[in-house]
Structure 1
Amino acid sequence: MTSQAPGTPQQNIGRVGVWAVQLSQDNAESPDENRAAAAELDELGYGAIWLGGSPRVARAVPLLAATRRITLATGILSVWNQPAEEVARDVAALEPGAAERFLLGLGVSHAPITEGYAHPYAKMVEFLDGLDSAPVPVPPARRVLAALGPRMLKLAADRSAGAHPYLVTVEHVAQARAALGPDRLLAPELGVVLDADLVRARQTARAALAGYLQLPNYVNNWRRLGFTDEDFADGGSNALLEALFAIGDTVDVRTRVAAYHEAGADHVALQVLRPDGALPREEWRELAAVLPLS
């Protein structure tokens, strides 16, 4: 971001963060591990933790308590899951010191996985109206939208701090920056597979991508970027995988993160993927040693 416009977030979320669905879930085997992992990410210097899987605001509370500096963000909360007034009430209930480190990420989800899905753009507008009119509003500077297409990107620029697009390419980052303008936050997610074995790494990436290939919002966005039905067959073409994921060693990841920054991203949220689905704490440490976190 080049300036502190009215809709941009007050907190500094740094250049690189972590996106993890595991941190928004209960860990029955080790209930303290998520808090310990969040505290370590804070100490390592990451700028934000994005809680995946459409978590409620309450999921951020124990991690905010376990950390001192890092921002906690929902990545993303579906606008179909709760009324806006209830979300605003949850945000207002955050402890004052913690509230300053919370960012509300919102998205319209997808028709195949959402009952009653219709008119997603209008639904987002209605939801933002609800946040604005709540007894304690959630101001634009404390919310971002999971925007992919032109209309939602414009809405993100007009009524939020910016955009948190998921499963996007370097080219999309450049397009999103042009749509948002210079003064809005652009914080794309980037999938990462740290594995020198390319065949195995692609298998990990394809397993992560499989469900998203069934969701029209993502597929339509990839079509706008020039991908075709051939790229969506058999778990995704190598070209699609290479465009959506950083695959290889830490140098490969650093190169891709730099490309996202050069294309216009202010912040890159890294989703480190493992075949076993475990928290990638060792990988986070390795990446922290080579990436420009501040």
Structure 2
Amino acid sequence: MQLGRVGIWTTALDHQPAAEARRAAAELEEMGFGAIWIGEAVRREAFSNATLLLTATRHIVVATGIANIYARDPTTMAAGQKTLAEAFPDRFLLGIGVSHAPLVSRRGHAYGKPLETMRAYLDAMDVARFDAAAPPQEPPRVLAALGPRMLELARDRSWGAHPYFVPVDHTTRARAILGPDRLLAPEQAVVLEADPDRARKIARLHTSAYLKLPNYANNLRRLGFDEDELSNGGSDRLVDAIVAWGTTDSVGRRVEEHLNAGANHVCIQVLTENPKALPRAEWQQLAGSLLARATPPAR
């Protein structure tokens, strides 16, 4: 499976009618990005959404970043993965994660201890029965991993890790835990705006939402951010660490920092004043800048 060095992470496709989302996915493929990463949360269901995009494209990888383990049982998760892996060889990457207690409780589930819950879930996936046409090889999976122990589990039980809402320092630490052979594909939010005040205003629309979720806030505490920096949408230092803003060259430098810190692939999430709008112009600008820099595809 060839992800390339740079992919696009986006929720904007979910806010479009299916036909428009499919057109946009085909455009991302034509631009040269190696992968499209889609979330789930309270938007489109992960496997049906992936199918929409896979059938609209020819070779780009579609990855879930992530499919919520509380949204389906392990047998269903394994069946969905194998179904798409067989139908679209080397083009579907399953990323799974434990989500967050507030989101899980809204589904009517009790939120278990993340590490224990994920380990048991993987155990059940690995022995799940699948009486259907299967892919020739066991398809790859990655884990949403932030803390050291979840990264260790990703190293031992998956193809690698997909950390979200992380600074470059986390990439360095994650690579040290994963070792040299596992995929490390961090998400990197970006704002193509050179004015600091305007850029940070857009960035804080993003950071203020995610800082309310305990898993992300706790991870940033581990990385040295104090309580004052976590409040009011994040300090300038925190915002600048999480969101790369400025010109396409500025974004390119941040991508290079992740790659130099040990990432194989960086998932770019474009932030704008309207998160529901397709950032086509920004995607095109980034393709022209980032893909020209890119070295040969990872993995």
Please, what TM-score do these two structures have when normalized by structure 2?
Answer: 0.90
The one-letter code of the counterpart of 2:21 is: N
**Residue of structure 1 in register with 2:20 after alignment:** 33
Alignment of 1:112-191 (within 5 A): 112-115=102-105, 116-136=110-130, 142-191=140-189
Please state whether the residue corresponding to 2:71 is helix, strand or coil.
coil
Q: 4+ residue runs of structure 1 moved beyond 3 angstroms? A: 136-141
Cα distance in structure 1, aligned partners of 2:51 and 2:15: 13
Q: What is the root-mean-square deviation of aligned Cα atoms in Å?
A: 1.7
Give the match for residue 202 of structure 2: 204
- Counterpart residue identity of residue 203, structure 1: K
Q: Deviations over 1:23-63 (max 9, x none)?
A: 2x2624xx421111111111111111000234421211121
2:192/2:248 contact within 8 Å kept: yes
| 2:86 is the alignment partner of 1:96 | yes
Counterpart position of 2:237? 239
Q: CA deviation at 1:248?
A: 0.6
Which structure 2 residues correspond to residues 16-55 of structure 1 after superposition, within 5 A? 16-23=6-13, 25=14, 27-28=16-17, 31-54=18-41, 55=45
Distance in 2 of aligned mates of 1:153 and 1:91: 21
Report the CA distance between 1:99 and its aligned residue: 4.1
**Structure 1 195/180 Cα, relative in aligned 2: closer, same or farther at 3 Å?**
same
Task: Tell me, yes or no, if the aligned pair for 1:141 and 1:161 is still in contact at 8 Å.
Answer: no
Structure-1 residue corresponding to 2:67: 77
Aligned partner of 2:224 in structure 1 is 226
Specify the code of the residue in structure 2 equivalent to 1:15: R
2:192 matched residue in structure 1: 194
Distance 2:76 2:40 in 1: 18
Is the CA contact (8 Å cut-off) linking 1:77 and 1:107 kept in structure 2?
A: yes
**Is the partner of 1:223 in helix, strand or coil?**
helix
| Structure 2 unaligned regions, length at least 5 | none
Name 2:280's counterpart in structure 1: 281
- For the 8 Å contact 1:13–1:267, the answer to whether it is kept is yes
Deviations 1:70-126 (A, max 9, x none): 100001011111101111222233373514200000111111221210211111112
Residue identity matched to 1:27: Q
SS in 2 for 1:214: coil
Residue type at the aligned position of 1:94: L
Q: More displaced, 240-249 or 108-117?
A: 108-117
Kindly indicate whether the alpha-carbon contact (under 8 Å) linking 1:106 and 1:145 is maintained by their aligned counterparts in 2. yes
- Identity over the aligned pairs, expressed in percent? 49
- Structure 1 residue matching 2:188: 3-state secondary structure: strand
Shift of 1:65: 0.9
